[in-house]
Structure 1
Amino acid sequence: MPINIKVLKDEDLRKALPDLARLRIDVFKSWPYIYDGSMEYEQRYLQRYAHTDGAVIVGAFDGDALVGAATGEPLEKEVIQFRRPFEENRLDPKKIFYMAESVLYPAYRGRGIGHEFFDLREAHARSLGYQTAAFCAVVRPDVHPLKPVDYQPLDPFWVKRGYSKLENGIVYFPWQDVGENEETEKPMQVWIRQL
C-alpha cells in the first residue's frame, strides 16, 4: 500500500496530536535526540498546534497509521528559546515560518517522504505570505558514547534543499536524555532559507 501524505489543519490536525505524540517519543528516542519523552508532556507540548493560527502538520500515513509527520507554525508563536537567536541576529520572527519537528519511522526512510515534508510545509508557509523558513537541528559531540558508528548527518540533505546554518544561531532547549534523571539544555543549530 502506498504511503499517503496529507496536510492536516484544524480538526484533522487536532485528531492527529495523540499519534504525533507517540511518534515523537518513538523516533526521538534514537540518535541524535536520545529523548526520554512521556505522553503527558508530549500532549501538553503539542497542544500549541491546535491553538495557533497558521500551524500545520504534514502526516505520512500507512493505511490509517501515522508513520511520519512534520510540523510548522509562525515563528512569532514559538517559545522564546526558539525566537531568541533570530532576534539577536536582527531577524524579525513575524516574517519567518518555523519548521519544527520532522519525524519518520526508520522503515519508511529513503522514499522521498522527507522531501515531501519540506515541500508541503514550505508551500504552506508561502500560502501564508512567508518568504523565509527556518528550523533547528540538535548538536551533539562527535565523541558521544551513544552515537551510532554508521550515523549519517542530514546536513547534505538540508543544504540540497537550500538551507544554510545561521551564524551564531544556536537555540538552547531542555529535555531529558535516555539514561538521565533530569532535563538538561541542549544546543540546536538554526538552519534558514529564503522561500
Structure 2
Amino acid sequence: MTSAGGAIRVVRFTGEQMRARLDDLARLRIAVFRAWPYLYEGSLEYERRYIARYVQARTGTIVVALDGETVVGASTALALDEEADYVRAPFVRAGMDTAEIFYFGESVLLPQYRGHGIGVKFFEEREAAARGFGYPLCCFCGVQRPDDHPMKPADYVPLDAFWGKRGYVKRPDLVASFSWRDIGDAAETPKPMIYWMKDLRA
C-alpha cells in the first residue's frame, strides 16, 4: 500500500526500540478500540502503563505500521507465561503448558489503512517472533458481545473468516474474562474473551 507520503512500512520492534513510540501506540489503541466490538473508554495514562510491559518483557514484541513517520497501526505479542494471571487462566485450567505458547495481544489499524494486507503482515511478523523465541504455539483472544447489543452496527462483519484463513482455530473451551470501561459507563465490567490458537509446526 502507498500513501501521499510513500509506501506503508511494517516494522517489528523489540525491547527498548519500542520506548520512543509509547505515546503514539497509546493514542492509537484508544482511537481504534472505541469502535465496535470493544467500545473501549481508554485513558492515556493506562495505555502508557499497558504498552510499557512489552518494553520490559523478555519476549515483548510490537509490530508497527508507519505512513512516513506516523504510526497508523500496531500489533503486540509476548510469551504467554509473561502475561497476567487472568490472561493465562483458561490454559492453566485446561492443564496446558503456558511455556509453549506465544500470546498475541491485539492488532489496531486506522480504518483508512484496512484492506491492504497490513493485518496479514501483522500476523506474519508476530508468528516470526514466536518462532524466533522458540514457541511452537500461538494464540490470541477476541471479545464475545451479545448479538442483540444495542451498539452493534447493522453491517458488522466479524473477523472469524480472516482468522481461520490464517490457520487459527477457535477454542470455545478457552475463555478468559477481561475487564474495561465501555464508552459511557461509569465503571469497568467483565467481558468474555474467546481464544483462537495455531500450531506453528503444522
Q: What is the TM-score when the length of structure 1 is the normalising length?
A: 0.98
* CA root-mean-square deviation: 0.8
Residue 66 of structure 2 aligns to a residue in which SS? strand
Structure 1 stretch displaced more, 139-148 or 7-16: 7-16
Say which of 131, 141, 147 aligns to 2:146.
Answer: 141
Within 2, Cα distance between the matches of 1:108 and 1:146? 24
Structure 1 Cα separation of the partners of residues 14 and 110 of structure 2:
22
Give the structure 2 partner of residue 70 of structure 1: 75
Superposition deviation, residue 167 in structure 1: 3.7
Q: Secondary structure at the match of 2:7?
A: coil
Number of residue pairs matched by the alignment = 195
Equivalent-residue separation in structure 2 for 1:63 and 1:183 (angstroms): 36
- Of residues 95, 99, 107, the one that matches 1:90 is 95
Give the superposition deviation at 1:176.
Answer: 0.1
Quick one: which of 120, 130, 135 aligns to 1:130?
A: 135
CA apart distance, 1:168: 1.5
- Select between 104-113 and 2-11 the one with higher mean Cα deviation: 2-11
Bigger mean CA offset, 65-74 vs 160-169: 160-169
Residue type of the partner of 2:140? F
Name the SS for the 1:136 alignment partner: strand
Which is worse superposed, 113-122 or 162-171?
Answer: 162-171
Match in the other structure for 1:52: 57
Q: Which residue of 2 aligns with 1:192?
A: 197
State how far apart, in whole Å, the 2-side matches of 1:44 and 1:72 are: 16
1:1-195 → structure 2 map (5 Å cutoff): 1-195=6-200
Q: CA deviation at 1:149?
A: 0.7
**Mapped partners of 1:49, 1:123: distance in 2:** 17
Q: Name the stretch that deviates more: 47-56 or 27-36.
A: 47-56
Unaligned runs of 5+ in 2: 1-5
Q: Offset at 1:15?
A: 1.3
Contact between 2:15 and 2:57, CA under 8 Å: does it hold in 1?
no
Look up the equivalent residue of 1:171 and give its one-letter code. Answer: A
* 2:57 alignment partner AA: T
1:19-52 CA deviation, whole Å, 9 max, x = no partner? Answer: 1110000000000000000001111122111110
> Post-superposition shift, 1:11?
2.4
